[in-house]
Chains A and B, each alone.
Chain A
Amino acid sequence: MTTLQTVFAKAKADNRAALVGYLPAGFPSKDGAIAAAAALVEAGCDVIEIGLPYSDPLMDGPTIQDAVHRSLTNGTRIADVMRTVEGVAATGAATLVMTYWNPIDKYGADRFARDLANAGGVGTITPDLTPEESEPWRAASAAAGIDTVFLVAPSSTEQRIKAVVDCCTGFVYAASLMGVTGARESVNVAAEGLVERTKAHTDLPVCVGLGVGTGAQAAEVAAYADGVIVGSAFIRRILDAPDEAAGLESVATLARDMARGVRR
Chain B
Amino acid sequence: MANEGTILTAADLAGNGARGDDPDVHGKFGIFGGRYVPEALIPALDEVAAVYEKAKNDAEFLREFDHLLRTYAGRPTTLTDVPRFSERAGGARIVLKREDLTHTGAHKINNVLGQALLTKRLGKKRVIAETGAGQHGVATATAAALLGLECVIYMGAVDCERQALNVARMKLLGATVVPVTNGSQTLKDAINEAFRDWVTNVDTTHYLFGTVAGPHPFPEIVRDFARIIGVEARRQMLELTGKLPDAVCAAVGGGSNAIGVFHAFIGDQDVALHGYEAAGHGLESGEHALTLTAGSVGVLHGSRTYVLQDDEGQTIESHSISAGLDYPGVGPEHAWLKDSGRATYHGVTDDEAMAAFSLLARTEGIIPAIESSHALAGALELGRELGPAATILVNLSGRGDKDMGTAMKYFNL
Q: Which listed residue (A57, A65, A101, A132) contacts B26, Cβ 8 A?
A: A132
Residue of A nearest to B38 (CB): A59
Interface pair B314/A153, CB less than 8 Å apart:
no
User: Given A59-B199, A180-B196, is A160 in contact with B39 using a C-beta cutoff of 8 Å?
Assistant: yes
Separation in Å of the B315 CB from the closest CB of chain A? 4
Separation in Å of the B3 CB from the closest CB of chain A? 43
Interface pair B26/A128, CB less than 8 Å apart:
no
In this complex, how many residues of chain A approach chain B with their Cβ under 8 Å: the count is 39
Interface pair B42/A72, CB less than 8 Å apart:
no
For residue B299, CB closer than 8 A to chain A, the reply is yes
Residues of B within 8 A of A151 (CB): 38-40
CA separation between A26 and B357, bound complex, in Å?
46
For residue A155, CB closer than 8 A to chain B, the reply is yes
Q: Which listed residue (A56, A103, A130, A133) contacts B188, Cβ 8 A?
A: A56
Q: SS class of chain B's interface: helix, strand, loop or mixed?
A: mixed
CA separation between A187 and B191, bound complex, in Å?
27
Residue of A nearest to B201 (CB): A178
Residue of B nearest to A72 (CB): B314
Residues of A within 8 A of B200 (CB): 178-180
Separation in Å of the A167 CB from the closest CB of chain B? 11
For residue B195, CB closer than 8 A to chain A, the reply is yes
Interface pair A175/B40, CB less than 8 Å apart:
yes
Residue of A nearest to B192 (CB): A58
Would you list the 3 A-B pairs with minimal beta carbon distance, nearest first? A106-B313, A153-B40, A103-B313
Q: Which listed residue (B39, B199, B203, B312) contacts A103, Cβ 8 A?
A: B312
Stretch touching chain A among B4-12, B29-37, B49-57, B385-393: B29-37
Residues of B within 8 A of A59 (CB): 38, 40, 195-196, 199
CA separation between A222 and B182, bound complex, in Å?
35
Residues of A within 8 A of B44 (CB): 155
In the complex, 26 of the A-B residue pairs with CB atoms within 8 angstroms, ordered by the A residue number, are A54-B314, A56-B300, A56-B301, A58-B37, A59-B40, A59-B195, A59-B199, A65-B182, A72-B314, A102-B299, A102-B309, A103-B312, A105-B298, A105-B299, A105-B313, A106-B296, A106-B298, A107-B312, A128-B37, A129-B36, A130-B39, A133-B34, A150-B39, A155-B40, A164-B39, A175-B38
Separation in Å of the A257 CB from the closest CB of chain B? 27
Q: Chain B 221-253 against A: per-residue CB contact (8 Å), 1 yes, 0 no?
A: 000000000000000000000000000000000
For residue A69, CB closer than 8 A to chain B, the reply is yes
CA separation between A154 and B202, bound complex, in Å?
12
Interface pair A127/B38, CB less than 8 Å apart:
yes
Interface pair B312/A153, CB less than 8 Å apart:
no
Residues of B within 8 A of A61 (CB): 196
- Which residues of chain B from 155 to 206 have a CB within 8 Å of any chain A CB? 182-183, 188-189, 191-192, 195-196, 199-200, 202-203
CA separation between A103 and B312, bound complex, in Å?
6
Q: Chain A 211-252 against B: per-residue CB contact (8 Å), 1 yes, 0 no?
A: 000000000000000000000000000000000000000000
For residue B302, CB closer than 8 A to chain A, the reply is yes
Residues of A within 8 A of B341 (CB): none
In this complex, how many residues of chain B approach chain A with their Cβ under 8 Å: the count is 37
Q: Chain A 129-144 against B: per-residue CB contact (8 Å), 1 yes, 0 no?
A: 1101100000000000
Residue of A nearest to B25 (CB): A132
Residues of A within 8 A of B26 (CB): 132-133
User: By CB atoms of chain A within 10 A, which of B41, B203, B313 has the most?
Assistant: B313
For residue B311, CB closer than 8 A to chain A, the reply is yes
Interface pair A102/B313, CB less than 8 Å apart:
yes
Residues of B within 8 A of A55 (CB): 183, 314-315
For residue A77, CB closer than 8 A to chain B, the reply is yes
Interface pair A102/B298, CB less than 8 Å apart:
yes
Separation in Å of the A185 CB from the closest CB of chain B? 15
CA separation between A201 and B183, bound complex, in Å?
39
Q: Which listed residue (B38, B196, B309) contacts A153, Cβ 8 A?
A: B38
Residue of A nearest to B298 (CB): A102
For residue A157, CB closer than 8 A to chain B, the reply is yes
CA separation between A68 and B37, bound complex, in Å?
19
Interface pair B36/A179, CB less than 8 Å apart:
no
Residue of A nearest to B42 (CB): A160
- Interface residues of chain A, those whose CB is within 8 Å of chain B, are 54-59, 61, 65, 69, 72, 77-78, 101-107, 127-130, 132-133, 150-157, 160, 164, 175, 178-180
Interface pair A106/B312, CB less than 8 Å apart:
yes
Residues of A within 8 A of B298 (CB): 102, 105-106
Additional A-B contact list (12), CB under 8 Å, known A54-B313, A179-B199? A56-B188, A56-B300, A56-B315, A58-B196, A102-B299, A102-B313, A103-B313, A106-B311, A151-B39, A153-B40, A175-B38, A175-B39
CA separation between A102 and B329, bound complex, in Å?
13
Residues of A within 8 A of B35 (CB): 130, 132-133
CA separation between A72 and B183, bound complex, in Å?
11
Residues of A within 8 A of B202 (CB): 155, 178
CA separation between A150 and B39, bound complex, in Å?
9
Interface pair B40/A133, CB less than 8 Å apart:
no
User: By CB atoms of chain B within 10 A, which of A57, A106, A154 has the most?
Assistant: A106
Q: Which listed residue (B38, B43, B296) contacts A128, Cβ 8 A?
A: B38
Residue of B nearest to A156 (CB): B39
Residue of A nearest to B203 (CB): A178
Residues of B within 8 A of A103 (CB): 312-314
Residues of A within 8 A of B43 (CB): 155-157, 160
Separation in Å of the A175 CB from the closest CB of chain B? 6
Interface pair B183/A130, CB less than 8 Å apart:
no
CA separation between A107 and B314, bound complex, in Å?
11
